[in-house]
Structure 1
Amino acid sequence: MVQRRVQPEHVQVAATLRRMREQAKVSREESAVLLGCTVSKIGDLETGRSKPKPVELERLLDHFGVAGDERAELVEFARTARGRRASGPYTAATVPNNHRRIVDLEAQAVSSLCYSGELVPGILQVEPYAKALLDWSWQGKEAEVGKLLALRMERGRLLTRTHRPPLRYWCILGEGALHTVVGGDAVMRQQVEHLVALNTTTENVTIQVMPYDGGPHAFRGLLATLHRFPPPAPDILLTDSYGRETIQDRPQVVERATHHLDLMKGMALSREASTEILRACL
């Protein structure tokens, strides 16, 4: 029997639905009773194997106590997801709920492989480093900075979560990120110390430094992240450049990106050598 391919936009709805249920402290069993279905169907709804009917989604959101803009935006996204292409742009700066949904994708993933050339990726950032970046991006908008900072710190906890297996995270970090001063010398020292600690004490995190002389590669000038999900959901590639965050699931594109990211692992320094480079920056 040929298994129907899971659509990435359904994975986005599923990831957000699971996060809302967990925040409401509602079990899958309770959700199943609410909808009059099996627990396995709730699992399918939360992995993207099936899409909730509008009435099911509304009932779940009522039970989870979700209201306001986040509810309206998720309902609208779910309603139009059937015809929505996953490769469209998402501008997190202007559409926070779409950004939240992309973060939910990260939370649903079982593993992620990231390349970042100039900045430490959000999930690895310490709070002062993240705040310095957000202050620069959202000058004078303290409320927005506060919300996005809390969200970014929430992402970091994916690496140490205990209610399910922590995210397996592999980062290829450009050497330039270690010399791009964000927030001043004291903040950079705290940030690098955090990277050293992750690389030496956290089994599910690997950080490789791509040296300046590592040579050309496919992701120069981009931030690229490859997310893997529980089967049968597809792998999803996120790329980020100025003003444009793109989600891509086409198999040929994802396979090519996976190949290039694997090549970059071989070009970058080993985990041990990378740790020594990081320590030398302290």
Structure 2
Amino acid sequence: MLTLATATWGSAFIAGKIAVQSFEPATVAFLRFFGAAILLFPLMWIMEKDRKRPNLRDHGLFALLGLTGIALYNICFFFATKHAPVIKSSLFIASNPVLIILLSGLFLKERITKNHIIGMAVALTGVVFIITDGHLLTLFQYGFEPIDFVLLGAVVSWAIYSVVGKVVLKKFSSVESTTYAVAYGTLFLLPFASAETSWMDIQQASITTWAAIAHMSIFVTVVSFVMYYNGIKEVGAAKASIFINVMPVSAVIMATVFLGETFTMAHGIGAAFVLTGVYIGTNAKMFQRRINKQTMKNETA
């Protein structure tokens, strides 16, 4: 479920690239989540018959989720999609699991295991291979630029969103959490979208642009966010964050299929590293089971 959710997020790079040709970043984000909110509220009413009424503290947490994971992250993401080099932006986004694991350990007291660290390192190595096409020295060609603050903002926003989401999920379902977060995020995005977009811009947008936004609303947001939040509830924010490394792999594959880009040997090696890292990171007792088996064998002998 987490693999499918994060793989679907990879398509946001392609859909976002199409959408920002017609609209500014905040407008793309607003339209994406406004469409998602229209779908999520009926879904919540149907699926959650016995839902709890949020109190003032709950609304504060939902507002924080909307501000970080919906508004700020997506403004930064779409702005970077339009203005930053793909190599740099992909590397920044791929570093999310590092910060999520650290924040989960600090604030949620989740146990950070050796497998988490090893899996994250292996997966991140694969990501670097993919986004540099095997030319690791490419990373040093980019100096510090103002856009780095935007990319750092995206990473910090998503990390906070994931960690706060774990707190919210103790009381609310994944559908409820996603719906309220999207609602608040859409409200936060409205002033920015209103300021930068005219009615003429909306009328002149192509069918391709609207299809890209619809895809992000339905699949990248509604379906994937609910699955991701449900995954956090099942396995914890630290372990779930490792699956974010699947996103660049799917982005490369989709770029090959839909944009005609070439799938290289480096992409294949990187994908293998990512999948290996995810497997190691999500099997915390893998090495322990092997040690126990060896110990039992020695005792039997």
- Flag whether TM exceeds 0.5 (same fold): no
More helix by share: 2
What's the TM-score, normalizing by structure 1? Answer: 0.28
More strand by share: 1
What's the TM-score, normalizing by structure 2? Answer: 0.27
